[in-house]
A = this chain, B = another copy of it.
Amino acid sequence: MDEVRIIEIQRSVFSNNEKQANKVRDQLKQQKTFLLNLMSSPGSGKTSLILQTIKSLRDDFKIGVMEADIDSAVDAERIAAVGIPAIQLHTGGMCHLDAGMTMQGLKEMNLTELDMVIIENVGNLVCPAEFDTGAVMNIMILSVPEGDDKPLKYPLMFSTCDVLLVNKIDYLEFSDFDMTAVKERALKINPSITIFEISAKTGEGIDMWAEWLRKAICNWIAA
């Protein structure tokens, strides 16, 4: 395995993040590359979900991954170990990615050869929701051990995302997590959010999520 490249990204110089985000999306559209922005708390299973998604979709699409963290390259190394192009972005202490920072990362990827790039945003249920990265789709994970009250406390994240993946359902039997309540709470904030129940560890529910994502990517490329 080649060593993973670590890119030290800089604070964005752009005052209008929305404008930059639209620029990113225009460029992606031209290159027919789907950009997926994955957000969650630390430790909810983002990297494991990416690995499962790669496993399901790698025969259909050429996939690349940008891992964002304040420090370490452990996540990008896990992705690179399965033969997928991955870079590690270090955010210089920043708690989120914005469009300018995403652009800096995308410049290091060979976009003309990729159908999809997955961003693993910094593990944080607050700040990443405030900044449009330029992604085509925003998705989030809530893991069962985090508890079913999270939509009440972090409503912006739930309102920003197109998809909620409820992960670690293999923990359900040891937990008092109320799946019905969490769905009701998420849908109250965001009636158009699509919800999947998964275990990135056991693979349960991954097929349905991957099939749904496959269609979304095809629709976007065809549009």
Kindly state the separation between the CA atoms of A147 and B124 in the bound complex, as whole angstroms. Answer: 15
Contacts of A205 in B (CB 8 A): none
- A124 to B, closest residue via Cβ: B126
Best-surrounded residue of A43, A70, A127, A156 (most CB of chain B within 10 A): A43
In the complex, whether A8 has a CB less than 8 A from a CB of chain B is no
Which one of A70, A123, A126 has the highest number of Cβ atoms from chain B below 10 Å of its Cβ?
Answer: A126
Q: Compute how far the CA of A145 lies from the CA of B124 in the bound complex, rounded to whole angstroms.
A: 16
A28: CB under 8 A from chain B?
A: no
What residues of chain B lie closer than 8 Å to A122, measured between beta carbons?
126
Listed residue (A149, A155, A171) with the most chain B CB atoms within 10 angstroms of its CB: A149
Contact-residue bracket for chain A:
20 to 34
**Residue in A71, A122, A130, A143 with the greatest tally of chain B CB atoms within 10 Å:** A71
- Residue among B74, B153, B156, B171 making CB contact with A123, cutoff 8 Å: B153
- Is the beta-carbon distance between A146 and B71 smaller than 8 angstroms? no
A17 within 8 A of B: no
Is A150 positioned at the interface, with any CB of B under 8 Å from its CB?
Answer: yes
Once the chains bind, are A70 and B154 in contact (CB under 8 Å)?
Answer: yes
Over the window 130-145 of chain A, the binary record of Cβ atoms lying under 8 Å from chain B Cβ atoms (1 yes, 0 no) is 1000000000000101
Verify B171–A125 contact, CB threshold 8 A. Answer: no
Q: Tell me whether A74 and B152 are in contact in the complex, defined as CB-CB below 8 angstroms, given that A145-B168, A146-B42, A171-B174 are known contacts.
A: yes
Question: When A and B form their complex, which 5 residue pairs have the shortest distance between CB atoms, in order from nearest?
Answer: A43-B146, A145-B145, A72-B152, A95-B126, A43-B147
